[in-house]
Structure 1
Amino acid sequence: MGGKSSSRPAPPSPLLSKPWREINWNDKQGTLQHVNAIRPKTEGQVIRILLHGLVGAGKSSFINSVKSVLQERMCLPALVANSFGESCTKKHTTHKFNNGNQDTFYHFVINDTMGLSNDCSRSTRNNRVRDIEKALKGHVSEGYTFNPECRISMDDPFVNLKPSANDKVHVLVFVIDANKFTPMIEKAVETFQDIREEAIRLNIPQVVLLTKIDEFCPESQQDVKNVYKIKTLKEKMKEVSARVGIPVNCIFPVKNYSEEMDLNSDTDALILSALKHILQLGNDHLNNHYA
């Protein structure tokens, strides 16, 4: 007598049937033109983006990835954190991005900050909050060396006592490693929240870049166009939103370039999509407060 079939139902798919957020994957040049068209009303004004996050979260890698996408070749203008968990960013440096040739630039700049250790002391976290507050206000000049043991003094030669609209930050970007957010200690999250409160007080918009999604979910490593179909990634974005306080529509998953020798059009599209929305927020802030 034949036995009953022992077939089991297929496991549920890790992917949604349709993406819950749309991206134009096939028009890189059109998106580049859109990015170039986002410019402040005031001649000579730039949109200043400030990155903040833990050591190794991907801040410098995002800067390198943006430059690579805009230059359409691999570029490494910013050093990245090493395997020992030490931040390579020591000085306040402004990264500009060439637009076509060496003499013209896009209408935005990106400032990196020294990476914060997940288990740093309370005094170090407080120093970081105060330093970021001064940077948001435009008081931290080019070349200032970050010191986790003490906050910048208003008597420091690298303090700009009379910042212009060009010196001030117009978008604050929290860079968070998707793989390391859940175990992040609450004190580190509270530091993000304290910095966010300073930005709110200054009416500066804030967003999150959720990095290393290819390591977090194999579905995006197989095909980055799956990004907005992956159920676990959507849940991770909701978790970040709940703990940090940034709404989900201001959280952008990205895959930075790290090991690749050549660009990938889908990776480019994801980076450009995040950059476009960051610039739109910064430009709105500038035009609403400084026009």
Structure 2
Amino acid sequence: MGGNASKDAISEVFEEDWREIPMSKEQYLDYVKNYQLHHDEIQQLRILLHGPVGAGKSSFINSVDTVLQGRISGRALTDGTFGDSFTTEYRTFKIQKEVQGTFYPFAFTDIMGLEEGTNKGVTVEDIKLAMKGHVNDRYRFNPTAAISDKDSGYNKNPSLNDKVHVLLCVVSAETLSLMKPEASADQRDEMTETMRKMREVRLAARDLGIPQLAVLTKIDEACPVVKEDVGNVYKSTYVKKLIEELSAFLGIPPSYIFPVKNYHWDITPEDVSDRLILSALKQMIDFGGDFVNKHM
């Protein structure tokens, strides 16, 4: 951010929280650990993550796993550099419960990131086909061509269990900063194109009736008061503004956008970060449950 006025603006706080985290960590954990899915055709709610390269999709999956396991997890491979998407496959992650061999009734599917241009990142068509259940696990994406029914990774007859039940848009606070006037024209053009693709995915999900949420990652890197204390997240005027901007770009209501601090630097779980992650997870589970109940 450039200029003293901008630095002052991102450090402003409200006297009171503009949003409450309604439950304690223990209450969230109790809800998630006791959640049961009552549907004969579905073993797990499938939550598909999509968003720009470097948004923190894989890190969010690891962060959920970290909270539920009570220790730092790194099952979804991540990369600390920016550039091409580190995730290249369609990969589903089940989260193991305390009893060996048992899993939570929801799973996260990670995909290649969206990028500007026609030959970079996952294609919008691939995401649309994935939402319909046509992409098999471990399919390696081809940025130059969407999957076809002739590919070995194409699922011609998807079951309800193969289809996506919740679409989760993952965007970092750093990404939104590239949409601002302080960024270069090239950076703004690139992010505008990426946001256009994300909006196209959102509309396709709407047509399929798939519920949608968003998480705003890297809030601690974007806002000094959150970096100082993550408990300030809902006092931060800047985080509130970023959520409003993301809502305007994508059309997702602000109440469906959850700011989170992924476990990237930390090596031990932390209560407020856990509660932010769990509040987003609970909403995903609730929305996914509502969606599949319509198909009973």
TM-score scaled by structure 1? 0.90
User: Residue 237 of structure 1 is aligned with which of 243, 267, 283?
Assistant: 243
Write the deviation string for residues 49-87 of structure 1: whole angstroms up to 9, x where unpaired: 000011111000001111111000011001113414232
**1:260 equivalent in alignment to 2:266:** yes
For residue 46 of structure 2, what is the aligned residue in structure 1? 48
For residue 100 of structure 1, what is the aligned residue in structure 2? 98
Which residue type is aligned with residue 240 of structure 2?
Answer: K
Displacement of 1:262: 1.0
Contact 1:174 1:207 in 2 (8 A): yes
User: Residue 121 of structure 1 is aligned with which of 92, 117, 121?
Assistant: 117
* Higher mean C-alpha deviation, range 12-21 or range 207-216: 12-21
Alignment gaps of 5+ in structure 1: 1-10
Write the deviation string for residues 24-64 of structure 1: whole angstroms up to 9, x where unpaired: 46x32221111133332214531100000111110000011
For residue 133 of structure 1, what is the aligned residue in structure 2? 128
Which residue type is aligned with residue 174 of structure 1?
Answer: C
For residue 271 of structure 1, what is the aligned residue in structure 2? 277
Aligned pairs for 1:1-291 within 5 A: 14-24=12-22, 27-43=24-40, 45-117=43-115, 120-122=116-118, 124=120, 128-184=123-179, 185-288=191-294, 290-291=295-296
SS across alignment from 2:123: helix
CA distance in 2, matches of 1:242, 1:103: 43
Displacement of 1:230: 0.8
For residue 4 of structure 1, what is the aligned residue in structure 2? none
Contact 2:54 2:82 in 1 (8 A): no
Which residue type is aligned with residue 166 of structure 1?
Answer: N
CA distance in 2, matches of 1:93, 1:122: 23
Displacement of 1:128: 1.2
Identity of aligned residues (%): 44
CA distance in 1, matches of 2:216, 2:80: 19
CA distance in 2, matches of 1:274, 1:51: 13
SS across alignment from 2:161: coil
* Higher mean C-alpha deviation, range 179-188 or range 90-99: 179-188
Displacement of 1:160: 0.9
Cα RMSD between the aligned structures? 1.7
Higher-Rg member (1/2):
1
SS across alignment from 2:50: strand
Alignment gaps of 5+ in structure 2: 1-7, 180-190
Tell me how many residue pairs correspond in the alignment.
276
* Higher mean C-alpha deviation, range 253-262 or range 43-52: 43-52
CA distance in 1, matches of 2:238, 2:209: 32
Displacement of 1:99: 1.1
